[in-house]
Amino acid sequence: MSLKLGTTAPDFDAETTEGTIRFHDWAGDSWVIFFSHPADFTPVCTTELGLVAKLRDRFAKRNAKTLAISVDSLESHHGWIADIEHTQDVKMNFPIVADPDQNVATLYEMIHPEADAKLTVRSVFFIDPNKKIRATITYPPATGRNFEEVLRVLDGLQLTDGYQVATPANWEDGDDVVIVPSITDPKEIAQKFPKGHRELRPYLRMTPQPNK
Residues tagged active-site = 45
Q: Which amino acid is at 108?
A: Y
Kindly give the pairing relationship between strand 198-201 and strand 204-207.
antiparallel
Nearest residue to 153 via CA among 120, 125, 122: 125
Q: Is there a contact between 143 and 122 (Cβ–Cβ < 8 Å)?
A: yes
Question: Residue 120 carries which DSSP code?
Answer: -
Given a contact cutoff of 8 angstroms between Cβ atoms, the answer to whether 189 and 182 are in contact is no
Those residues with Cβ within 8 angstroms of residue 111's Cβ, 6 or more apart along the chain or in another chain: 71, 102, 105, 117, 118, 119, 120, 121
Phi, psi angles (nearest 5°) of residue 193: -130, 70
Tell me if 193 sits within 8 A of 146, measured CB to CB.
no
The span from the CA of 27 to the CA of 127, in Å, is: 9
